[in-house]
Amino acid sequence: MPKPALRFPARLLFLAALPLMFWLALRPAPDIVQVVSWQDKIEHALLFAALALLGRTGWPQRPGMLALGLLAYGAAMEVAQSFTAYRVGDPLDWLADAAGLLVLLPAVMRRPRRTA
């Protein structure tokens, strides 16, 4: 179970990251050097793994709701991108989001142990 002192900062970072990520997802894509063809998928997975870690640290008592909420958030981002003229909603991006969650699924889904 995460230390209580970490909960508040993790919650702040998590809640700040959600609208920031959504805004970045809806902006025109920046011109960046692409090293590998699936670089975008790696970025999605890493961002969602980080969100899962922050969310689990901030709200350790609701791991299932956190995972479902992040999956819905990722789907909403892809749907919103499909309504822009300069972005494309990609189901594979959502699968990459889910993969990022799966990497941390044991930590996200494990129930905190009770101490005596």
Task: Report pLDDT for 44.
Answer: 94
- The answer, as to whether pTM is greater than 0.85, is no
Give the separation between CA 96 and CA 111, rounded to whole angstroms.
25
Residue 93 near residue 44 (C-beta atoms within 8 A): yes
Q: How many domains does the chain have?
A: 1
Could you report the per-residue pLDDT of 56-102, keeping only the tens digit for each? 999 988 888 998 999 999 999 999 999 999 899 999 999 999 999 98
Report which of 114, 97, 112, 5 is spatially closest to residue 58, judged by C-alpha positions.
5
Q: Residue 55 domain-assigned?
A: yes
Q: Which domain holds residue 73?
A: 4-25+39-109
Residue scoring higher pLDDT (107 or 25): 25
Give the separation between CA 66 and CA 7, rounded to whole angstroms.
14
Q: Residue 114 domain-assigned?
A: no
Q: Residue 115 domain-assigned?
A: no
For residue 76, the number of C-alpha atoms closer than 13 Å in the C-beta half-sphere is: 11
Q: Residue 32 domain-assigned?
A: no
